[in-house]
Structure 1
Amino acid sequence: MTHALAVGGCAIGMIIVLIARFRLNALLVLFGVAIAVMLATGHSPAQAVTTFQHGAGNALGNIGFLIAFGTMFGKLIAQSGAADTVARSVMQRCGVRNLHWAMAATGMIVGLPIFFDVGFVLLAPLGFIAAQESRRPVLMAILPLVASLSIAHAVMPPHPAIMLAIGIYHARLTLNLMLGLLVMLPTAILCGPVFAQFVIRHIGTIATSPMEAEFQIRTTPEIHAPPGRSVLCILLPFLLIGGGQVLAAISGAGIWHMLGQALGETNIALLVSLLAVAVLLCRPAGMTPQQIAHALQSCLAPTGFVILLVGAGGGFGQAVIDSGISAALTSAALGAHMSPLLLAFLSAAIIRLATGSATVATGTAANLIAPALPHLHGVSPELLVLATGAGSIAFGPVNDPVFWQLKEYLGLSLAQTFVVWSGTETLISIVILCLTLLLSAAL
């Protein structure tokens, strides 16, 4: 176990030094370090490459087309003038100085039914343009947004990880929903708008990233899309995904169930939304089919490296798992003697550090803690769910594909990404844990 932990520590150190100090390409570094980790733990070169390919394939299968389709959707929303219309409307109602509060509220609302990955990809263009319209730093829009989306993922049903933990701990869904809302609001305030103001004063200059530039460029700047239609089209993917999932859940086998499953599938919902935006916004704005096709094709150029980097992050994460580093970290967590809530938090946090996945961390930690639950008198299963969810998003480690996705979306350096993503995720986890402990003392 000591050897595996030492290899894991060296691997993280190598990634940081090679990218931050020597400015090596992150894609090459992640691949090289993943192979080195496997070789150092006794695997053959063929096994090392197979592990990396397996992890990268899983990551790309989950998010690759989502990034591509989401970028295309955002490009058409921007080109048609819809994002500009909605951003101006938000600024008029909330005020330029309240951009961070508006984006935090948007993230909380959208984050309740929608996965983090989907919410971020689809709302990032709106954040970019809102920041441009308000002449505020882009982090003032994006950081509160990602914080709210992450908090919802960590503590709010019906997200799969939390639903899994509720089932494993035999917690009450209604009570967890109420407790989650109680924890979510103060956490979103502290870790979103408040933390964003602190970070912006200390993080230094951030240049405009290629992704941000794509969403700011419009063929006809004078276009003003109808407000109602603009809001409808921006919300359409969320409405289709949520409505499809509800339809599939309430209908039996048959055509309606199949339709619900189809619309509830993220990539299908995005494809339908793309067609709707082209018909309802782009064509009325005067864009020709050739201009629409050019916009869809040109916006994919900046996503290529982002998608590959996300895959590389998944490949490195799989190497950490298959090398035994993940199991060693988990064993170290279980060997600690502490309160059940702290143990649930620490177990999930260490699994998150080991695997990079918040969902895996929640499910694994819950399965580790649940067998001891009958012997833990006076411990609320609902609070265990919150503590596990809090630990599952700690650290925002480099084997989390979102780390690299956010880095490229915002054009951050490695050090800035540690502050913006890893710092935000860790702060969220600590705040949720503290609120959970307070609830435990009060209940």
Structure 2
Amino acid sequence: MLIAKDAAQLSHAGNTQLALAALAGIAAVVLLIVVVKLHPFISLILGSAVVALVAWVPAAEAVTSFTSGAINPNGGFGGTAGSVALLIALGAMLGQILVDSGGAGVVVDTISDTFSGSALPWGMALMAALIGLPMFFEIGVVVLVPIVLMVARHTGQRLMLVGIPALAGLSILHGLVPPHPGPETAIASLHADTGRTLIFGLIVAVPTLVICGPLLARVLDRLVPIEHPVLPGGARGSGGAGQDIDEKSGPGRKPTFGRSIAMLVLPVCLMLPAAIINIAVSDENNRARQVLDVIGTPSVALVITVVAAYFVLGLGSGMSRSQASDSLGNGLPGIAGIMLIVAAGGGFKQVLVDSGVGNVIADWANGKNISVLLLGWLVAVGIRLATGSATVATVTAAGIVSGLAADLSPNHLALLVLAIGCGSLFFSHVNDAGFWLVKEYFGMTVGQTIRSWSLMETAISVVGFVFVMILSTFT
């Protein structure tokens, strides 16, 4: 593997050239998809090539950066495929057997009956927030999307009214509340207190979710009025575009609501103890923490859940062993395209990062005489726009402003973590793997995804930061 001699970046181009490279790459992706109608997978590869050409990144190192990360060997296409794609596959299998067993229909009926009419978006926001508390965003998406789409169909609600509250709940928890990787890394970099950050994060998250979830959904529904959502994927109920399903179908006897919802929240229950013990126990050599960390690893938690669903939902609903096994397998073909697009988005992001685009933001931030909270938010916004990664934006911004954080009180250190977290969510677009995940799962065009998902992320970033600034005046 080629490793860059410069530990900071592959390109030695100036800041102006790097900024132009980022803009050119993003523009190329958008034009190829929207105008040329080229498949997003190929468009992201060509967009990465444009970034490398304009930034003067050597060809061999650009290829390495895209495929696996030339500076970070765990990044790029391979790193994204090895993490996110694995979660997508496991989540699709869980969603498929939930549908085939009839358990999904039971959940849909119960949710729509309990939260009917105008209360339904609030129910979806609450469910997403609870599931998203200890869960990575990508896992939450693949677990919730089949339920979101089927609730929308069952109740006749348009997709934005149901989907935006769910996505908002997941995104807000991912960006603001530990133990998600972004906030946790910022806490470590800034030496902030985890408990204060968790408490302040929840205080900011609740009103932000109310505004940017059910309330904003009404506005976005007018911009993107999708009437007839379908489950994404070629296989029935697998989670990709284009195939209708009968959400009430099932083998013979449907699982109870309790069993169905238990399988839905089991990944949460497996990950939550690890999140709690990581906050309560600082000793990394603690045996209980080590065991729970393994069980709470997202991929491990989902594997355990899929195996449990095989018995509880598959065999428990009257399927034979071969039928239950086929049900799990049927969830995979339809999400192959999604996995490739998301992985290519990770490669595009890595080329941007390795070329040194983040350093452009760092150079701009040096010497700026503004509020530390505002500076942290602005730096995170710039890096998020350039690289597409909320985690990269959080980590980089925390490192940039860490020198200014030494004199802050413990409360303001925690608020600085949240300000950076808010900035890291700003305007997700074509260089963000999450953008493609949402686009493909919801079967939207690039334009529709920008007018819904991207606007929602921007609203979360701005509204959340406003609440952080309000809190700063009282602490």
Match of 1:214 among 193, 212, 237: 237
Map 1:149-228; keep pairs closer than 5 Å. 149-205=170-226, 208-209=229-230, 211=232, 214-215=237-238, 216-217=245-246, 220=250, 223-228=253-258
Tell me how far apart the structure 1 counterparts of residues 474 and 277 of structure 2 sit (CA, whole Å). 39
What residue is the counterpart of 1:230 in the other structure? 260
The structural deviation recorded for 1:107 is: 1.5
Match of 1:24 among 38, 58, 62: 38
The letter for the 2-side match of 1:199 is L
- CA gap of 1:47–1:168, structure 2 versus 1, over 3 A, is closer
What residue is the counterpart of 1:321 in the other structure? 353
For the pair 1:346 / 2:378, whether they are aligned, the reply is yes
- CA gap of 1:226–1:374, structure 2 versus 1, over 3 A, is closer
For the pair 1:264 / 2:285, whether they are aligned, the reply is no
What residue is the counterpart of 2:11 in the other structure? none
Tell me how far apart the structure 1 counterparts of residues 192 and 304 of structure 2 sit (CA, whole Å). 37
The letter for the 2-side match of 1:289 is R
Deviates more, 1:355-364 or 1:62-71: 355-364
Tell me how far apart the structure 2 counterparts of residues 164 and 321 of structure 1 sit (CA, whole Å). 18
Residues 5 and 329, structure 1, Cα contact 8 Å, conserved in 2: no
Deviates more, 1:391-400 or 1:155-164: 155-164
The structural deviation recorded for 1:365 is: 0.9
Tell me how far apart the structure 2 counterparts of residues 48 and 153 of structure 1 sit (CA, whole Å). 30
The letter for the 2-side match of 1:61 is G
The unaligned stretches of length 5 or more in structure 2 are 1-14, 69-75, 239-244
Match of 1:33 among 33, 44, 47: 47
Deviates more, 1:329-338 or 1:383-392: 329-338
The letter for the 1-side match of 2:193 is R
Residues 263 and 269, structure 1, Cα contact 8 Å, conserved in 2: yes
Match of 2:160 among 105, 120, 139: 139
- CA gap of 1:377–1:286, structure 2 versus 1, over 3 A, is closer
Size of the aligned set, in residue pairs, is 443
The letter for the 1-side match of 2:187 is I
What residue is the counterpart of 2:123 in the other structure? 102
Query: Which stretches of structure 1, 4 residues or longer, exceed 6 Å deviation after superposition?
Result: 247-255, 376-379
State the secondary structure of the residue aligned to 1:311. Answer: helix
Tell me how far apart the structure 2 counterparts of residues 315 and 284 of structure 1 sit (CA, whole Å). 41
Alignment TM-score, normalising by the size of structure 1? 0.93
Residues 245 and 263, structure 1, Cα contact 8 Å, conserved in 2: no
Taking only the aligned residue pairs, the percentage that are identical comes to 33
For the pair 1:290 / 2:322, whether they are aligned, the reply is yes
The structural deviation recorded for 1:221 is: 7.5
What residue is the counterpart of 2:415 in the other structure? 383
Map 1:408-419; keep pairs closer than 5 Å. 408-419=440-451
Alignment TM-score, normalising by the size of structure 2? 0.87
For the pair 1:57 / 2:89, whether they are aligned, the reply is no
The structural deviation recorded for 1:294 is: 2.2
Tell me how far apart the structure 1 counterparts of residues 470 and 323 of structure 2 sit (CA, whole Å). 56
RMSD over aligned Cα atoms: 2.5
Deviates more, 1:66-75 or 1:145-154: 145-154
Residues 21 and 52, structure 2, Cα contact 8 Å, conserved in 1: no
Tell me how far apart the structure 2 counterparts of residues 238 and 377 of structure 1 sit (CA, whole Å). 33
For the pair 1:430 / 2:451, whether they are aligned, the reply is no
For the pair 1:280 / 2:280, whether they are aligned, the reply is no
What do residues 96-119 of structure 1 show as CA deviations (whole Å, max 9, x unaligned)? 432211110112112222221222
- CA gap of 1:439–1:247, structure 2 versus 1, over 3 A, is closer
State the secondary structure of the residue aligned to 1:211. Answer: coil
The structural deviation recorded for 1:75 is: 0.7
Tell me how far apart the structure 2 counterparts of residues 61 and 155 of structure 1 sit (CA, whole Å). 25
The unaligned stretches of length 5 or more in structure 1 are none
Deviates more, 1:159-168 or 1:340-349: 159-168
The structural deviation recorded for 1:11 is: 1.6
- CA gap of 1:204–1:20, structure 2 versus 1, over 3 A, is farther
Tell me how far apart the structure 1 counterparts of residues 81 and 368 of structure 2 sit (CA, whole Å). 36
What residue is the counterpart of 2:391 in the other structure? 359
Tell me how far apart the structure 1 counterparts of residues 188 and 289 of structure 2 sit (CA, whole Å). 24
Deviates more, 1:406-415 or 1:44-53: 44-53
Tell me how far apart the structure 1 counterparts of residues 194 and 272 of structure 2 sit (CA, whole Å). 19
The letter for the 1-side match of 2:237 is E
Tell me how far apart the structure 2 counterparts of residues 324 and 281 of structure 1 sit (CA, whole Å). 48
- CA gap of 1:138–1:288, structure 2 versus 1, over 3 A, is farther
Tell me how far apart the structure 2 counterparts of residues 436 and 162 of structure 1 sit (CA, whole Å). 14
